Structure 1
Amino acid sequence: MDFTFNSYAITLIFCGIITLLFSYHLFERKGEAVRLFSYMMLSNAIWSLAYGLELASPTLSQMRFFLNIEYLGISTLPVNWFLFCLQLSGKDYWYKKRLNLVLMFSVSIITILLVWTNNYHHLHYNSIKLDASDPFPRAIIEPGIWYRFFTVYFYLLLGLGTYLVFVTFRKADAIYRRQNYTIFLAALVPWMVNLAYLLGLRPLGNIDLTPFAFIVAVLLISMAIYRFQLFDILPVAREKVLDLIQDGYLVLDGKNRIIDYNEAFKTYFPADKKRKIIGMQIESLFPGQDKLLDFLKNHRCGKIELKLDTGKASFDLEANIMHLNESQLSNEATIIKLQDLTAIKEEALKSKLQTEELKKLNQLKDKIFSIIAHDLRGPLVNLSEVLKMLNTNMITIEEFKALSPKLSRDILYTTDLLENILHWSRSQLKGYGINKVEFDLRNMIINEVNYHLPSAAIKKINIIHDVFPGHLVYADMLMIQIVVRNILNNSIKFCHDACEINISAVYKANHMMLLTIEDNGRGMTKEALDMLFNGASVSTRGTMNEKGTGLGLVICKDFMERNNGQIEVTSELDKGTRFKLYLPISEN
């Protein structure tokens, strides 16, 4: 290729190289706005370099070649400018929708293709002629229909971008306003120069001064970058700030109508109301909130608590009400900040329940230590003293035989108590596992009945079990055995002579087996029944003065819950007690 360089061409090529280097320098910096601006500079650099080489070309075919390259920059420049302005004004969510981005760049791609194939359709240029009358040859272009369409598109994106930047910065601090003026002026210069060229106002003949104007624009924006710290100090869009805040905000006018709100506010309402919030009266969104309406009516500021029920969910909210008068704004307005206290209250309730549970466990622990110190130690000391007296001949064999039934009951009580304490203590250890197996309920009941027959025979109590073979349950067998043993112990303890204890089992819904242990003994009062499973009940003596601790049924409840079961008890004084155990059945 041959070139005849002139002052215009050299100026454009030099400025294009500088712009290209500056674009590369900015591209390496962090930030989406900086990167988009570097793309815009790259488009301008391509336009300037290619146009400079076009002005230095001596033939029309060479001019056409560089004109085709120019449109790589010309067609993408308005799009990159518009994307840069969207990012700068906080509207970047718009171009992050893929469809919008495709639509904008599709015009650029179509323009490039039409320019490159213009000889076949002449939609972009009607004709391109060589003008050799000036000191250096130049191309004279007669616009086509697509050329005019692209020009409108070019100015539309340029104007919209400039407007967005102006609106964003107009109420900003002083440093932002200086940035705004610089960017606004930078956009205005090429706009006016290109408009003058299209209207025929051409002081240099057919030379298009638009690339020179864009170089001026780049210099102005470069001054904003280094003088006013553009891209280092950027205003944050109001929508982004409010939508990132987790608390809900809404603004009311003087008639208590909603005129603005943020994204978090919509989470408190179902989808059908979200579309109608603007313009609604506040009492329509918060019905029955008399205290809120009183604050608004009397222009009072402060914090109040609201209970909002949307039908699908309920919220505990704290409303912070602030009134702005006409001296602060052009119109009277009210700002309400809504903080969701639902999770905080739930955590507080959970903490309270945990505290109460811990208190009960501490009471139970103190009770266990008391039992170990007194009830467990006492029978063992008595047995030791009696054996010592027998060995030293302080009592006779006949006297020892008379004492042996009482000693036997004390030892049986001590054994059961120690077993309960050991099992409960083991179950409270961290990492203690449950060994769930499938076992025959009838066999386990028979073993427990046989275990209790001696103590039942003393009171002539008849234990009747009606559990069919093949009733399988899926649970920790040892735990269920301890539960049944404790309940039978209590039944025998509070039964009179010749009472009956009935044991039965039936299948229930939801894969559960109902095991019922019922007696016609002494029964319990309602007060005793309410304290039965919390370890707070006072030990009650049996019908033959048998001792108890109240610890056994606490263990029963704990073990049933660990096995995904449930324990229920009903009792009536002097009529008896019925225990219902719901046990999971086999999963097969």
Structure 2
Amino acid sequence: MDFTFNTYSVILLFFGTVTIILPYYIYRSSEGAVRWFSFAMLSNAIWCLGYGFELASSDLEQVKVFVDIQYIGITTLPVYWLLFCMKLSGLEKWYQRRLNAYLLCFMTLISCIMVWTNDHHHFYYKEMHIDFTEKIPLLSFKRGTGYLLFTIYFYITLLVANILLYISYKKSAPIYKRQRYSIIFSSTIPWMANFCYLLGLRPFGNMDITPFSFIISVFVVAIAVHRFRLFDIIPVAREKVLDLMQDGFLIVDDRHRIIDYNKAAVQYIQPGQKIVGMPMKIAFPDQEEMLNFIKNERSGKVVLTMERLKGTVHLEAEIQLLNENELNSNTTIIRLQDLTQIKKEELRSLQQTEELKRLNQLKDRIFSIISHDLRGPLVNLSEVIKMISNDLITIEEFKMLSPTLSKDILYTTDLLENILHWSRSQLSGYGIKKEHFDLRSMVVNEINYYLPSAASKKISIIQDVFPGKLVYADMLMVQIVVRNLLNNAIKFCYEGCQIDVFAMYHKSGMMELCIMDNGAGMEEQVLKKLFSGENQSTRGTMNEKGTGLGLMVCKEFMERNNGSIKVESETGKGTKFFIYLPIAPE
């Protein structure tokens, strides 16, 4: 091969050689998007070297060889630049799809093949010859259809890449301003030069100034790497790190507008408009304390409570003013830490503490009942038995005492039964045996159990529960509930009163069982404490004693069976208890 080197060819060969070495070190010392940039530099180097040797050649066949070499760089350069911009924008999933990767490879390969085989079809170049009228021999050609198609593909690829680059950096914080301008400016130079060449604006005749413009572009990038540490922190990496953080981050300028944010912060910002540029008073309209911190340029922490779509949100806003930065104005960084779960845990802990206090008070009360109410009747019974055994009382006197003893024993039995069932229900391993059972049969059995007590006060019990009404619950628990309610009804009824027991299907899909009496009734303040265990038991219409534990047990058992209990009462008119039972498993 015969070469006649000139100033233009030497410049291209020198910088092409430097450029072809530089990508190797960039590739070895970096990763991610920077590696795609090193491939783009390698393509540029191949283009520069090929064109440098072309400018030093005067033989057409020799020129064609270097044109073929140039197109290895020309066809791969837009592809590598597109991949670089995609990686920088976080869109690498697109080219990781096999079909898209094949498409890029196909376009590159078919373009090279068209150039390499042009002598057989002239689809790319219609005509090629050496122009000796210029200062140096230059290739002159007529464009073919393939040339026009490749040019369109070339510029579409570059346009898409630069749009992605612009969108990626548009959201970046001001701290990345110099980096953004460096990349955009360096990428614009060669495309403008090539565009001028295609339009016929050629200051050096038929010489293509695009490779020379790439030298300027690489020079700008080199300055950016050295001066602005261009690839030390890639903005997309910073964005991914911020987006992975659970805390929300906002950057606010000196005019109190949001200029940057991460994904976690979006859920806390008042919806309605674009976030970047949104004033803080619109983003957080009801947070005067935080807005005052920002307005007065103060750093500190503020607790926020906001209503959002997912409910009430509790946040801690840590405000940090950056007044010693390299930017043109003061910047405020706000970290939003979600305290909602912590607040819920605090509330749950407080509720558990209150529940423990209540249980401790209830425990003390139960011990008091056991030590007094339970001990009293048993001591009385023991003393009576001793007196009989020592012949201190007669049989007639014992018969006179037996009604009182019977009431004491019945009271003691009910007391022990309620304490036993309540205590068992508090055990963590206590199981519930839910099953379908006939409500009427259970109610009739409990009524029959209390008929003697009702008869002694001349109280009539009328039940109107139809056969076949099935409910789904623990039968023993429901039995204890009905037993307590019937016992209370009898206890607070006067002689000649009536107790009605009936059941019906409720609109909620539950079975409603009502136990109603026309006895003494209850006052409003008694109703409020009825199921809490705080209510002190009052004596019945015939001085019957109670513990105050029965209704607490009723409420506990109904809740554990996915049911409920409520009461309606009026002093002097009577009381209605309603219990609601499931009729099928949930």
* TM-score normalised by structure 1 residue count: 0.72
Aligned-pair CA distance for 1:157: 8.0
CA distance in 1, matches of 2:25, 2:295: 59
Equivalent residue for 1:469, pick from 467, 470, 476: 467
Equivalent residue for 1:145, pick from 148, 162, 176: 148
Equivalent residue for 2:113, pick from 116, 126, 147: 116
Decide whether the 8 Å contact of 2:453 with 2:490 is kept in 1: yes
Alpha carbon RMSD of aligned pairs, Å? 5.8
CA distance in 2, matches of 1:168, 1:248: 14
CA distance in 1, matches of 2:485, 2:21: 93
> Judging changes above 3 Å, is the alpha-carbon distance between structure 1 residues 224 and 543 closer, same or farther for their aligned structure 2 residues?
same
Aligned-pair CA distance for 1:434: 2.1
1:519 paired to 2:517: yes
The alignment covers a number of residue pairs equal to: 567
Aligned-pair CA distance for 1:479: 0.9
Worse-superposed segment, 575-584 or 377-386? 377-386
The equivalent residue for 1:391 is 389
Equivalent residue for 2:410, pick from 396, 409, 412: 412
Decide whether the 8 Å contact of 2:502 with 2:515 is kept in 1: yes
Render the CA deviation track for 1:270-302: whole Å, top value 9, x for unaligned.
Answer: 76x235x67777777777888888889999998
Structure 1: tracts of 5 or more residues without a match: none
The equivalent residue for 1:451 is 449
CA distance in 1, matches of 2:493, 2:509: 33
Equivalent residue for 1:509, pick from 507, 510, 521: 507
Decide whether the 8 Å contact of 2:512 with 2:581 is kept in 1: yes
Aligned-pair CA distance for 1:506: 1.3
CA distance in 2, matches of 1:406, 1:342: 59
Aligned-pair CA distance for 1:524: 1.4
Once the two structures are superposed, the pairs formed by residues 189-268 of structure 1 within 5 Å of their partners are 210=211, 217=218, 231=231, 246-247=247-248, 249=250, 251=252, 260=259, 262=261, 266-268=266-268
SS of the residue 1:434 aligns to: coil
Equivalent residue for 2:549, pick from 548, 551, 554: 551
SS of the residue 1:515 aligns to: strand
CA distance in 1, matches of 2:295, 2:203: 63
Aligned-pair CA distance for 1:260: 4.3
> Judging changes above 3 Å, is the alpha-carbon distance between structure 1 residues 427 and 245 closer, same or farther for their aligned structure 2 residues?
closer
SS of the residue 2:354 aligns to: helix
Aligned-pair CA distance for 1:546: 2.0
CA distance in 2, matches of 1:138, 1:294: 70
Counterpart code for 1:477: M
Render the CA deviation track for 1:73-111: whole Å, top value 9, x for unaligned.
Answer: 432323433553675xxx614676679999999788546
> Judging changes above 3 Å, is the alpha-carbon distance between structure 1 residues 521 and 166 closer, same or farther for their aligned structure 2 residues?
closer
> Judging changes above 3 Å, is the alpha-carbon distance between structure 1 residues 375 and 211 closer, same or farther for their aligned structure 2 residues?
farther
Seq. identity, %: 50
Counterpart code for 1:484: V
1:274 paired to 2:250: no
Equivalent residue for 2:497, pick from 496, 499, 509: 499
> Judging changes above 3 Å, is the alpha-carbon distance between structure 1 residues 468 and 148 closer, same or farther for their aligned structure 2 residues?
closer
Counterpart code for 1:446: V
Worse-superposed segment, 141-150 or 163-172? 163-172
CA distance in 1, matches of 2:142, 2:439: 100
Decide whether the 8 Å contact of 1:140 with 1:206 is kept in 2: no
CA distance in 1, matches of 2:28, 2:340: 50
CA distance in 2, matches of 1:329, 1:476: 71
Counterpart code for 2:422: W
> Judging changes above 3 Å, is the alpha-carbon distance between structure 1 residues 163 and 389 closer, same or farther for their aligned structure 2 residues?
closer
Equivalent residue for 1:400, pick from 398, 408, 427: 398
Decide whether the 8 Å contact of 2:252 with 2:331 is kept in 1: yes
CA distance in 2, matches of 1:333, 1:233: 20
CA distance in 1, matches of 2:420, 2:442: 21
CA distance in 2, matches of 1:172, 1:289: 28
> Judging changes above 3 Å, is the alpha-carbon distance between structure 1 residues 403 and 61 closer, same or farther for their aligned structure 2 residues?
farther
Render the CA deviation track for 1:176-215: whole Å, top value 9, x for unaligned.
Answer: 97x9999899879988998999977889x98999499779
Equivalent residue for 2:377, pick from 379, 399, 403: 379
CA distance in 1, matches of 2:415, 2:329: 78
> Judging changes above 3 Å, is the alpha-carbon distance between structure 1 residues 6 and 436 closer, same or farther for their aligned structure 2 residues?
farther
Counterpart code for 1:507: Y
CA distance in 2, matches of 1:17, 1:334: 44
Counterpart code for 1:526: E
Equivalent residue for 2:540, pick from 539, 542, 548: 542
SS of the residue 1:274 aligns to: coil
Counterpart code for 1:84: F
Decide whether the 8 Å contact of 2:246 with 2:264 is kept in 1: yes
Counterpart code for 1:447: N
CA distance in 2, matches of 1:167, 1:114: 34
CA distance in 2, matches of 1:528, 1:46: 95
Aligned-pair CA distance for 1:446: 0.6
Decide whether the 8 Å contact of 1:130 with 1:138 is kept in 2: yes
SS of the residue 1:492 aligns to: helix
Worse-superposed segment, 485-494 or 369-378? 369-378
CA distance in 2, matches of 1:295, 1:212: 50
CA distance in 1, matches of 2:228, 2:289: 49
The equivalent residue for 2:81 is 81
Decide whether the 8 Å contact of 1:128 with 1:139 is kept in 2: yes
Aligned-pair CA distance for 1:463: 1.2
Once the two structures are superposed, the pairs formed by residues 415-426 of structure 1 within 5 Å of their partners are 415-426=413-424
> Judging changes above 3 Å, is the alpha-carbon distance between structure 1 residues 267 and 338 closer, same or farther for their aligned structure 2 residues?
same
The equivalent residue for 1:579 is 577
Worse-superposed segment, 39-48 or 161-170? 161-170
SS of the residue 2:522 aligns to: coil
Structure 2: tracts of 5 or more residues without a match: none
1:356 paired to 2:367: no
> Judging changes above 3 Å, is the alpha-carbon distance between structure 1 residues 259 and 449 closer, same or farther for their aligned structure 2 residues?
closer
Aligned-pair CA distance for 1:164: 9.5
Aligned-pair CA distance for 1:521: 1.6
Aligned-pair CA distance for 1:574: 2.3
Once the two structures are superposed, the pairs formed by residues 68-107 of structure 1 within 5 Å of their partners are 71-81=71-81, 83-84=83-84, 92-93=89-90
Equivalent residue for 2:484, pick from 479, 483, 486: 486
SS of the residue 1:470 aligns to: coil
Counterpart code for 1:274: Q
CA distance in 1, matches of 2:282, 2:214: 56
> Judging changes above 3 Å, is the alpha-carbon distance between structure 1 residues 193 and 318 closer, same or farther for their aligned structure 2 residues?
closer
SS of the residue 1:84 aligns to: helix
